[in-house]
């Protein structure tokens, strides 16, 4: 192969990878997304996880997993609803995400920022991973990387489509957010509707409005 041909091939490969990464970032992720396929389409991401201590077998037994001050609990949809109800009196933001969803990973730090910024005002952030239960070690690694010292939950059901339906995640698309008022009732949800795009400012605005209500 001539030098010119090699250069041309490299440009085509790079362009395809970049295009796939941008499409994944802005189109969200579906419940039917194949995690393996999604990950292989994305360019390699700089990882901090490798520098973190891996969870021990003991810390991953049962329905709870913990590494340092970060923990995650496997829950059914019914258990999830009870945990949210237990937060009555506070404004609650639930961030539904998955490790295979690039937009979810990119937006996750904003949820943590809101938790730190508004925690003293009666605000609680909950993360809910929609990965399969067997991916709990990967979920914990990501949460540890993010230093996610909030309430971290993860889907306990093997059938992800049933889980998405039971949790009322529109279109099975991630990321998805739900905001509950101090009365414990659902106030607003974001995600799943391409005709009504949203960004982090929209979520923060809605949370601020909910905090003003008594």
Q: How many domains does the chain have?
A: 1
**Local confidence band at 197 (pLDDT 50, 70, 90 cut-offs):** confident
Res. 7: pLDDT tops 90: no
Domain of 160, CATH number, reads 3.40.30.10
- Within 13 Å, how many C-alpha atoms sit on residue 30's CB side? 7
Question: Rounded distance, CA 142 to CA 5, Å?
Answer: 40
Nearest Cα neighbor of 176 from 151, 196, 149, 159 is 196
pLDDT at 63: 60
pLDDT at 101: 96
Question: Rounded distance, CA 169 to CA 190, Å?
Answer: 9
139 within some domain: yes
| Mean pLDDT of the 14-21 span | 43
pLDDT at 30: 67
59 within some domain: yes
Q: What is the pLDDT of residues 118-131, one digit of tens each?
A: 999 999 999 999 99
pLDDT at 78: 97
Q: What is the pLDDT of residues 142-190, one digit of tens each?
A: 999 999 999 999 999 999 899 999 999 988 899 999 999 999 999 999 9
State the residue for tokens 């009504």.
196
pTM greater than the 0.75 cutoff:
no
Rg (Cα) of the chain, in Å, rounded?
Answer: 19
191 within some domain: yes
Q: Quick one: what percent of the chain has pLDDT higher than 90?
A: 60
Res. 4: pLDDT tops 90: no
Question: Rounded distance, CA 195 to CA 151, Å?
Answer: 31
- Host domain of residue 188: 3-43+54-212
34 within some domain: yes
Token representation of residue 10 = 């490299």
The 10 Å Cβ neighbour count of residue 168 is: 12
| Mean pLDDT of the 65-76 span | 86
Question: Rounded distance, CA 20 to CA 187, Å?
Answer: 34
Res. 194: pLDDT tops 80: no
* Pure H helices in 28-53: 35-41
Give the CA distances from residue 178 to residues 25, 29, 44, 90, in Å, rounded to whole numbers and listed in that order: 20, 17, 31, 14
Question: Rounded distance, CA 188 to CA 19, Å?
Answer: 32
| Mean pLDDT of the 80-87 span | 96
Q: What is the pLDDT of residues 18-61, one digit of tens each?
A: 444 444 444 567 665 544 434 333 333 333 333 344 444 334 44
Question: Rounded distance, CA 130 to CA 156, Å?
Answer: 9
126 within some domain: yes
CB 149 within 8 A of CB 138: no
49 within some domain: no
Q: Determine the distance from the C-alpha atom of residue 52 to the mean position of all C-alpha atoms in its chain, rounded to a whole number.
A: 20
pLDDT at 65: 67
Question: Rounded distance, CA 12 to CA 131, Å?
Answer: 33
Nearest Cα neighbor of 29 from 41, 18, 44 is 41
48 within some domain: no
State the residue for tokens 């009870």.
82
182 within some domain: yes
């Amino acid at each position: 192969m001539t030098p010119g041909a090699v250069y041309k091939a490299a440009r085509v490969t790079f362009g395809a990878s970049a295009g796939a990464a941008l499409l994944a970032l802005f189109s969200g992720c579906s419940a039917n997304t194949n995690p393996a396929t999604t990950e292989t389409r994305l360019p390699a991401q700089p990882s901090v996880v490798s520098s973190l201590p891996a969870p021990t077998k003991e810390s991953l037994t049962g329905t709870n997993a913990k590494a340092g001050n970060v923990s995650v609990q496997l829950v059914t949809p019914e258990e999830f609803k009870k945990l949210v109800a237990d937060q009555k009196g506070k404004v609650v933001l639930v961030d539904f995400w998955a490790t295979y969803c690039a937009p979810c990973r990119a937006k996750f730090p904003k949820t943590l920022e809101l938790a730190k910024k508004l925690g003293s005002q009666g605000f609680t952030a909950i993360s809910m991973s929609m990965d399969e239960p067997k991916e709990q070690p990967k979920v914990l690694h990501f949460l540890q990387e993010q230093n996610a010292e909030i309430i971290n939950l993860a889907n306990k059901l093997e059938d992800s489509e049933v889980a998405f339906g039971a949790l009322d995640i529109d279109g099975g698309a991630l990321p998805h957010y739900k905001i509950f008022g101090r009365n414990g009732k659902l106030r607003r949800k974001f995600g799943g509707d391409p005709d009504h795009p949203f960004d982090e400012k929209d979520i923060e605005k809605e949370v601020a409005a909910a905090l003003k209500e008594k």
